[in-house]
Amino acid sequence: MMRIKHAKNRSMTLPAVLTAFCIVAAIIIVIIIIYLPKKDGNGTDTTADTVPAVTEISESTAITEPVQTEDTGDTESTAATDAPPVTEYIPPEVRDTDFSGCLFIGDSRTEGFMLYSGVKGAKAYTARGLMVDTYFTAPVVDMNGTKISVSQAVESESSFERIYIMLGVNELGWAYDSVFISKYENLVDHVKSCMPDTEIIVQSIIPVTLAKSESDEIYNNENITRYNGLIRDMCARKSVTYMDLVPYFVGDDGALPEEAAFDGIHLQKSYCERWLDVLKQA
């Protein structure tokens, strides 16, 4: 009786065991499917690994790390601690001086100054060959399509803070010094009458190179020195400012350095810049 009862209990528990086994097997299969690494078409593992977030740097993204530049060996841009001290021609704080409100009157030398010095804001009435007499007569200024003289152009202006004048090199061959300075006085008087409140600055004639001076009977430094004396005295009589540019441009020989002018007279760019530097300090 006892054996029959035991067999009956065993037969009743077998289905339960099978059911439990199936459930466990199903759970294992599901887990394997979920966590099994996936492959793409090429057999490459596409399962995402745990990686730190990456921030894309665009053109507008600020880079805070220092940038190391390659040493190009350019000695002009590399500061040499053992180099001899360099004397600056002018203090850097005046290099950006603006000349708005200023007028320049002159010949081809002033024309070159306006082109190559880097002067900012200024107006100019210049012409090749302009002289103290043709200031009144030569139609060299284009005013609304009409050519007029510099004197007429000055008359059409209201006012300037300063007017810089340099003339005289083209007149070096004139027969009489008195005629030259008389014509120059007429020019200064005209400017003063048109603009009585404007500061007038008459600049000296810049010397020529030694080679030019020694080879030319007219355009030489002896004549320039004499004319500059006449101009200086005229400025004193007319109560206008005389600006002596000579010391800033000549060497020990009293002449313009050979490298300063391509033809012995007209200044190279670097010397036009020097000219501007002198005016900025005045």
Q: If you write DSSP's letter for every residue of 218-258 in order, what string do you get?
A: SSSHHHHHHHHHHHHHHHHHHT-EEE--GGGT--TTSSB-G
Q: For residue 43, is pLDDT > 90? A: no
Domains and CATH numbers, the chain: 92-281 (3.40.50.1110)
Structure confidence at residue 97 as a pLDDT band (50, 70, 90): confident
- Per-residue model confidence (pLDDT) at position 128: 97
pLDDT at residue 147 is higher than 60:
yes
Q: How far apart are CA 279 and CA 122, in angstroms?
A: 12
Does the structure show a pLDDT above 70 at 236?
yes
Give the model confidence (pLDDT) of 60-90 as tens digits: 333 233 333 333 333 333 333 343 332 333 4
User: What does the pLDDT read at residue 95?
Assistant: 47
> Would you say residue 55 has pLDDT above 70?
no
Report the percentage of the chain scoring pLDDT > 90. 64
Distance of CA 102 to the CA centre of its chain: 20
Euclidean distance between CA atoms 124 and 257, whole angstroms? 27
User: For residue 282, what pLDDT is reported?
Assistant: 77
Q: Write the pLDDT tens digit of every residue in 99-119.
A: 999 999 999 999 999 999 999
Prediction pTM value: 0.67
The model's confidence at residue 201, banded by pLDDT at 50, 70 and 90, is: very high
Which of 167, 179, 135 has the alpha carbon at shortest distance from 154? 135
What pLDDT is recorded for position 120? 94
- Inter-CA distances, 36 with 30, 40, 45, 234, Å: 10, 13, 10, 104
